[in-house]
Chain A
Amino acid sequence: MDIIDRRLNPRGKSLANRQRFLRRARRQIQDAVRDAAKSRGVADVADGEKISIPVDDLREPTFRHAREGGDRDHVLPGNKEFVKGDRIPRPPSGGGGGGSKGSPDGEGEDEFRFVLSKDEFLSIFLDDLELPDLAKKAVKQTEFPTYARAGYSVSGSPASLSLVRTMRHSLSRRMALSRPSLSTLEALEARIAALREAGADAAELTRLEEEHARMLARRKRIAFIDPNDLRYKRFEPVPKPIAQAVMFCLMDVSGSMTEHMKDLAKRFYMLLYLFLKRRYRHVEVVFIRHTHEAQEVDENTFFYSTETGGTVVSTALDEMKRIIDLRYPSGNWNIYAAQASDGDNTSDDNAKAVETLDKVLLPLCQYFAYVEVGSEDKDWTAPDTELWAAYKVLRKPGANMAMRKVRRRTEIFPVFRDLFSREREAA
């Protein structure tokens, strides 16, 4: 008899089956995920999700008897008052008094329920979204040369000297040229000393002394370490993709922004964060709020504290530029920005904002999204807001700038998908 502890066996033995199952049910799961995302609000989206999907495609049909019809026999336990010949009305739900009441594996149900893990949920949720123009524009920018070891060279800086290699070459050269070793020399000196002491055999002594002189000369001629022996570790520049991103959240917090608008903006930022998080190993978020002046704040202040003042958008853009220069050199970071505003701006600032964006920020950014939030009853047929009208000139095919209008929660995700979907037509 053997008792075997299998608890430490690799987990997830049925992972391959699960993936096959998810692939099979992909379409239904996608629909279910979309529905969940619409009704649930963004904050819960990141969690794993319980999903119900119709069993249609997942049915495993077999030839089996119908539940009803035909003559059937039932043998049942627990008789109380029946005697032979009693007649009992047929129960309405079919199947007679006993027999199968729904197969045990839940096959008979119309809905199939199971839980998606967080990763699975997100991968389906963000499935057909893609980072905008990443392939075209950013190949160069998302790579950064680093140095990697690549063999040895005969020249280099002293710091990269490879001692082991150098000594190995030195040793083989000394052996090849038969340079007398220190121990041989010392042994000879000892013998000379002994002969001198004894005072006998002068001829031998002379011969040994000559030998000694020859050894010394040879040791002098053949260097212990020759420049030929030197070996240096060689480094080669290797382009390495940058797996980090910074996301700038810019928001107008002046009095005209209501809680509702901020909420819309927050949801958009969260989606963007989730999305970036899946693509980059490391994502940092910078919050910049502005009225007539801009400042970097923490998340709480950003969303929940109110400020009063006018609205000067270019201050936020300038602040963003300053922070990029200070902390996020564009060679090392993929930069994304999302600006939310109700569209107000001081008229004479428009030109400055557009110029900063066009000349300074857009070249640095991977993508810049402008989301104009409005109250639910806002009439979109109204003339364009100050900022929208100003930014419109930047919107051209192939530009890494996009703008959308949002006024309801349910519109957030469609707009987000619209911005980042793979088949995005040029905005």
Chain B
Amino acid sequence: MVAAMRATGDVLVSGTDWDFDRLRRVYDAIEGIATGEFGLDVYPNQIEVITAEQMLDAYSSIGMPLMYRHWSFGKHFAHNEVMYRKGYRGLAYEIVINSSPCISYVMEENTMAMQTLVIAHAAFGHNHFFKNNNLFRQWTDASSILTYLDFAKSYIARCEERHGQRAVERLLDAAHALMGHGVHRYPRKRLPDLRQEEKRERERQQYQESRYNDIWRTVPRGPDAPAEADDAAARKQRLRLPEENLLYFFEKIAPRLQPWQREVLRIVRHLAQYFYPQGQTKVMNEGCATFVHYRTVQRLYDAGQLSEGAMMEILDSHTAVVRQPEFDDPHYGGINPYWLGFHMMGDIARISTEPTDEDREWFPGIAGNGDPWGTLRNVWRDYRDESFILQFLSPHLMRKMKLFHLRDEARASEMVVSNIHDERGYRELRDALARSYDVAVQEPDIQVVDVDLTGDRRLVLHHRQRDGVALDRDDARRVLRHVANLWGYPVRLVEVDAASERCVHEFDDIEPRDPFV
């Protein structure tokens, strides 16, 4: 009997109403568990109580407390409002921001039990993940994001005053269209700045002059190398092509942009970079937060600090969050990251405490090490979704989830079940699932490959297709129009098959209709 085992502690959470005093006491209790037993390491917390309308506000400005102004945020607000008012969609119980201090928004409508859940989930689960995960540490700067947003907001407001709302809005439209292509995905050589470059060029020249000796002119040389090819190579080198960070490319290279327009592109690029890790760690981030809140409320309940009713309410909403309809269910809409993450975290904890022989064979590194929280903390620090699944999805869990792999080839008339959850299939099944979380597969690979500098300055983009998956033509043409306006000269997009380098489709050249100048 669980009830018999419960300590008769001071009941902190019962009933529905909450007040600030109780919130604080519950926070302290959770903090004790999370930083003590679980060993979590978090940014200082700032919990803000907001109304439903403010939650809608936060929703529509991509969850940030401040944001520059743009019609698209108004559009999302209008849409969310209708969905919410008609009851199609509830509001999130919380929003948490990767900043230091870590800001968690909680809604005033939440019951005391929900507030408890939310604090454990956001203020400790997500917060720990933000602070410790390598991707976040590498790509985002939590301590300065709010200051930067403040700058961005006022900078864009000033631009609107000076250049007109219309001009700024068009520029932001174009920048937003390329936001998915505004991140340096791979660490790169530090770019030497142009002034340095010029100086070095002068030094080279001087060196050449100092070493000049007319006698070398008389020494016979081989046939001249083809000048044309050299030119193209030099040009690509000079423009640092190919370049996959389109926003960066336009910010630095586009010939006709004004300085303020470059700065706006830069702002959008910085935002894209700030959000870049979130897309790659959805499963882990939610898994971490969900696992932390689940274990935390269990501890609170065991210590008698949670009433039976509150526990029931929390479990009810917890199960709703981690619900995964099966593939043939009408509600199926892809794999629920909460579900996958939560179960994988639980599975890792199980492997490290009560491993089976199979686990020992598959995970010799962590099986039976007896330190579930230490293991999890390492996982949360070092992995992102793709590598996390590739490394830690266990056969036990694949069986439990009854995963299977469906291969859908364009030239075949039917889909084939290529692997199921059995001995022969575990590895490939796991690979396939991990691959579906790989950014390189999810997002089209688009690169600037060449600029015809001597001719009509046409910009050439390549989309490197994988597995014959093409771009959505309609949307691509719309984006190209933005690209042409940014570049100021014609733009051509070519789809190339990544494996064979064969040209698959060429979009018509798009002329700038109304270039930014």
Contact = CB atoms under 8 A, between A and B. Distances in A.
Interface string B464-505: 010111111111101100100000000000000000000000
B167 interface: no
Nearest to B325: A78
Contacts of A58: 75
Given A3-B23, A60-B72, A86-B417, A78 B327 contact: yes
Contacts of A86: 416-417
Interface residues of A, number: 64
A73 B329 CA distance: 19
Given A60-B72, A112-B75, A70 B54 contact: no
Nearest to B123: A1
B421 interface: yes
Given A60-B177, A75-B436, A77-B402, A70 B79 contact: no
Interface residues of B, number: 102
B44 A83 contact: no
A291 to B, nearest CB: 49
A86 B415 CA distance: 8
Nearest to B405: A75
A104 to B, nearest CB: 8
A403 to B, nearest CB: 41
Interface in A69-83: 69-80, 82-83
Nearest to B413: A90
Contact of B420 (A4, A18, A82): A82
Nearest to A65: B469
B31 A17 contact: no
Contacts of A106: 79, 83
B108 A77 contact: no
Interface stretch (B138-146, B201-209, B427-435): B427-435
Interface string A12-29: 011011111111100000
A70 B464 CA distance: 13
A79 B403 contact: yes
B293 interface: no
A21 B78 contact: yes
Contact of A14 (B73, B403, B417, B443): B73
A63 B475 contact: yes
A86 B417 CA distance: 5
Given A6-B49, A17-B61, A75-B404, A114 B69 contact: no
B289 interface: no
A17 B473 CA distance: 29
A401 B14 CA distance: 71
Contacts of B72: 21, 60
Contact of B31 (A1, A13, A112): A1
A3 B31 contact: no
Interface stretch (B222-230, B332-340, B377-385): B332-340
A85 B416 contact: yes
Nearest to B461: A63
A277 interface: no
Contact of B57 (A1, A14, A77, A113): A14
B444 interface: yes
Contact of B85 (A61, A78, A85, A115): A115
Contact of A65 (B407, B414, B444): B444
**Which of B46, B78, B178, B417 has the most chain A CB atoms closer than 10 A to its own CB?**
B78
B239 to A, nearest CB: 21
B70 A61 contact: no
Given A61-B177, A62-B179, 9 more contacts: A1-B24, A63-B181, A65-B444, A72-B408, A74-B408, A78-B329, A84-B422, A96-B415, A97-B408
Interface of A: 1-7, 9, 11, 13-14, 16-24, 50, 58-67, 69-80, 82-90, 96-101, 105-106, 112-115
